[in-house]
């Protein structure tokens, strides 16, 4: 077998393993096999590439080894972050992925240009190169911005930033990048080509920033998914440039995953892609009914605990507030105390609760709550009219009944968890400010709703303590 065929065979096996890796993610019981198969695929891919490079006469092996070691040294601590920081870590690694693709594309272009390699700069390859650097660098800066927003860095605005003519400016810059790209495809060896290339690079970097500026925290799950798809597609483009099937297949798997997650997130917010990307959402709606100040009823953890102790079914609706307060372990204590008293406890998980897809599930799994009790929105909504208590922990928009009734609300039409159908509603909230999307929540003013103001961790801990205390006497 020729060395070339051996490399391709290794790539083929790696592709199969990557597909199985995703296939095994369909079930929590087989999911860990998916990780092992992914690791095996990656090892084969790297081994195959090195074999190919060695047999065709490569060089710089010590440097490559050093880059591997440095990457592992940075990657290892990044895998140890607390689970509440997983959205930031994910955004950061999208940034690394985008940068890698962008840099490889840049390297290839200047290599071919320096060699005046007309064959290697065939139009379709330059087209792929343009897509690779556009997606790569856009993903790089966009993901860094997203990670900064998620980490709540002071110098990155949290609220969506909008200015007049925003979409016109973005569109203008995009047209300019497109024109430069077309010019490069037609004249890749022109004297001005390196300059044009660099300009496309700069524009792509700028796009990443401009695309994320107008996006608010509530849209983060969608944006992270879209950036995930872009990172995958930039790998696909690299595959076209380098004539490499493994890059195309693995990139396409990543791209389709990002695409599906984006669609699920958009559906869960009743919004379209374009609306997320171009329709800034989340400016505080100054209460139109300015005159009448509505009043909350608040309650103490003591009496809330008493009511919960007598319930048959308690549905807990967690949201980003639970993640911020790191309250998941206290929630587990509450869950245990209620279970001990024979109360059925279920968790209602909205697809966009938190800052990335599946965020709540991971946090609750960390607190060792069995995943059988984590119930998807569509399933739990059937149970809510029978629930005695709905306990909302740091969630807001995903339980806002305005989504069903108020046509003027920005979240109108978004599927929600029907917490308002439970007999009694307790809502734990950090402050009296509206949620991240800045929208008033009718749920809090209902007759059956009682607010428990305070840090989620403290309040839930107090609820658990009350239940435990009563049991002890």
Partner 1 sequence: MPNLILAIAQGTGGHAAGGHGQLDFMGALFVFMLATFIGLMAIQRVSRLLHTPLMSLTNAISAIAVVGAIIVAAGKDAPVYVTALGLVAIFCSTTNIVSGFLITDRMLKMFKKREGAPK
397 catalytically annotated: yes
Is 142 among the residues that bind partner 1 (CB under 8 A)? no
Within 13 Å, how many C-alpha atoms sit on residue 42's CB side?
8
Q: Which of 254, 397, 420, 455 is catalytic?
A: 397
Q: Distance between CA atoms of 273 and 263, rounded to whole angstroms?
A: 8
Instruction: Work out the burial of residue 173: count CB atoms within 10 Å of its CB; fewer than 13 is exposed, 13-18 middle, 19 or more buried.
Output: middle
Tokens representing residue 286 in the block: 């100054």
Q: Which is nearer to partner 1, 46 or 189 (CB)?
A: 46
Is 464 among the residues that bind partner 1 (CB under 8 A)? no
Q: Distance between CA atoms of 96 and 140, rounded to whole angstroms?
A: 7
Is 60 among the residues that bind partner 1 (CB under 8 A)? yes
Q: Which of 50, 199, 324, 446 binds partner 1 (CB under 8 A)?
A: 50
Is 61 among the residues that bind partner 1 (CB under 8 A)? yes
Question: Which neighbouring-strand residues pair with 427?
Answer: 392, 451
**Which part of the chain contacts partner 1 (CB under 8 A), choosing from 121-129, 153-161, 274-282, 290-298?**
121-129
Is 34 among the residues that bind partner 1 (CB under 8 A)? yes
> Which of 321, 313, 352 minimizes the C-alpha distance to 452?
321
Q: Which is nearer to partner 1, 112 or 444 (CB)?
A: 112
Q: Which is nearer to partner 1, 301 or 354 (CB)?
A: 354
> Which of 388, 386, 389, 364 minimizes the C-alpha distance to 375?
364
> Which of 181, 280, 163 minimizes the C-alpha distance to 223?
280
Q: Which is nearer to partner 1, 83 or 458 (CB)?
A: 83
Tokens representing residue 344 in the block: 């059925």
Find the shortest distance in angstroms from Cβ 159 to partner 1: 25
Find the shortest distance in angstroms from Cβ 241 to partner 1: 7
Is 432 among the residues that bind partner 1 (CB under 8 A)? no
Tokens representing residue 279 in the block: 């329709």
Is 163 among the residues that bind partner 1 (CB under 8 A)? no
> Which of 426, 406, 424, 428 minimizes the C-alpha distance to 416?
406
**Which part of the chain contacts partner 1 (CB under 8 A), choosing from 29-37, 206-214, 310-318, 440-448?**
29-37
Q: How many residues bind partner 1 (CB under 8 A)?
A: 130
Report whether 364 contacts 335 (CB < 8 A): no
Tokens representing residue 416 in the block: 């929600």
Among all chains, which residue has been given the structure tokens 């059988």? Answer: 372
Q: Which is nearer to partner 1, 242 or 446 (CB)?
A: 242
Is 172 among the residues that bind partner 1 (CB under 8 A)? no
Q: Which of 130, 146, 180, 238 binds partner 1 (CB under 8 A)?
A: 238
> Which of 199, 200, 102 minimizes the C-alpha distance to 144?
102
Question: Which neighbouring-strand residues pair with 452?
Answer: 428
Is 204 among the residues that bind partner 1 (CB under 8 A)? no
Q: Which of 197, 240, 426, 450 binds partner 1 (CB under 8 A)?
A: 240
Report whether 139 contacts 105 (CB < 8 A): no
Report whether 283 contacts 438 (CB < 8 A): yes
Q: How far is CA 283 from CA 26, 280, 320, 434, 437, in A?
A: 38, 8, 18, 11, 7
Is 251 among the residues that bind partner 1 (CB under 8 A)? yes
Is 74 among the residues that bind partner 1 (CB under 8 A)? yes
Q: Distance between CA atoms of 417 and 386, rounded to whole angstroms?
A: 14
Find the shortest distance in angstroms from Cβ 209 to partner 1: 19
Q: Which of 3, 28, 189, 294 binds partner 1 (CB under 8 A)?
A: 28
Q: Distance between CA atoms of 161 and 337, rounded to whole angstroms?
A: 44
Judged by CB under 8 A, the chain residues 371 through 430 that form the site for partner 1 are: 371-374, 376
Find the shortest distance in angstroms from Cβ 340 to partner 1: 15
Tokens representing residue 389 in the block: 């208590």
Q: Which is nearer to partner 1, 64 or 153 (CB)?
A: 64
Judged by CB under 8 A, the chain residues 323 through 362 that form the site for partner 1 are: 349, 351, 356-359, 361-362
Query: Binding pattern to partner 1, positions 88-117, x when CB under 8 A?
Result: -xx--xx-xx-xxx-xx-xxx-xxx-xx-x
Q: Distance between CA atoms of 134 and 333, rounded to whole angstroms?
A: 48
Find the shortest distance in angstroms from Cβ 272 to partner 1: 19
Judged by CB under 8 A, the chain residues 184 through 203 that form the site for partner 1 are: 185-186
Q: Which is nearer to partner 1, 232 or 318 (CB)?
A: 232
Report whether 304 contacts 462 (CB < 8 A): no
Find the shortest distance in angstroms from Cβ 155 to partner 1: 24
Catalytic site residues? 397
């Amino acid at each position: 077998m020729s060395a070339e065929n051996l490399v391709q065979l290794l790539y083929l096996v790696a592709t199969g393993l990557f597909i199985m890796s995703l296939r095994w993610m369909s079930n929590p019981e087989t999911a860990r096999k998916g990780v092992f198969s992914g690791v095996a695929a990656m090892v084969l891919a790297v081994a195959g590439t090195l074999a190919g490079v060695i047999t065709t006469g490569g060089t710089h092996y010590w440097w490559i080894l050093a880059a591997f070691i440095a990457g592992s040294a940075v990657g290892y601590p990044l895998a140890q972050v607390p689970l509440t920081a997983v959205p930031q870590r994910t955004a950061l690694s999208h940034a690394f992925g985008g940068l890698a693709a962008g840099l490889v594309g840049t390297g290839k272009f200047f290599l071919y240009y320096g060699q005046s390699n007309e064959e290697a700069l065939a139009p379709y390859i330059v087209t792929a190169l343009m897509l690779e650097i556009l997606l790569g660098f856009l993903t790089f800066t966009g993901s860094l911005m997203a990670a900064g927003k998620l980490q709540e860095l002071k110098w990155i605005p949290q609220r969506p930033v909008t200015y007049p003519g925003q979409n016109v400016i973005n569109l203008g810059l995009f047209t300019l990048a497109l024109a430069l790209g077309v010019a490069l495809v037609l004249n890749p060896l022109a004297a001005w080509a390196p300059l044009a290339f660099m300009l496309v690079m700069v524009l792509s970097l700028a796009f990443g920033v401009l695309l994320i500026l107008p996006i608010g925290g509530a849209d983060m799950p969608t944006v992270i998914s879209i950036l995930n798809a872009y990172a995958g597609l930039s790998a696909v483009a690299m595959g076209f440039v380098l004539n490499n099937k493994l890059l195309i297949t693995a990139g396409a798997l990543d791209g389709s995953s990002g695409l599906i997650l984006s669609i699920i997130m958009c559906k869960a917010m009743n919004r379209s892609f374009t609306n997320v990307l171009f329709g800034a959402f989340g400016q505080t709606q100054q209460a139109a009914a300015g005159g009448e100040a509505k009043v909350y009823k608040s309650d103490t953890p003591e009496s809330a605990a008493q009511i919960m102790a007598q319930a048959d079914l308690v549905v807990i609706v967690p949201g980003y507030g639970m993640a911020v307060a790191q309250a998941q372990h206290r929630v587990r204590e509450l869950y245990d105390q209620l279970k001990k008293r024979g109360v059925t406890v279920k968790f209602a998980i909205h697809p966009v609760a938190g800052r990335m897809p599946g965020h709540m599930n991971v946090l609750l799994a960390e607190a060792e709550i069995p995943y059988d009790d984590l119930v998807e929105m569509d399933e739990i909504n059937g149970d809510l009219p029978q629930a005695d208590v709905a306990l909302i922990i740091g969630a807001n928009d995903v339980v806002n009944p305005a989504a069903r009734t108020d046509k003027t609300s920005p979240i109108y039409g978004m599927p929600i968890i029907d917490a308002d159908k439970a007999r009694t509603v307790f809502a734990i909230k950090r402050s009296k400010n509206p949620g991240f999307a800045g929208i008033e929540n009718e749920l809090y003013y209902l007759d059956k709703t009682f607010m428990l103001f305070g840090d989620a961790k403290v309040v839930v801990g107090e609820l658990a303590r009350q239940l435990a205390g009563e049991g002890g006497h």
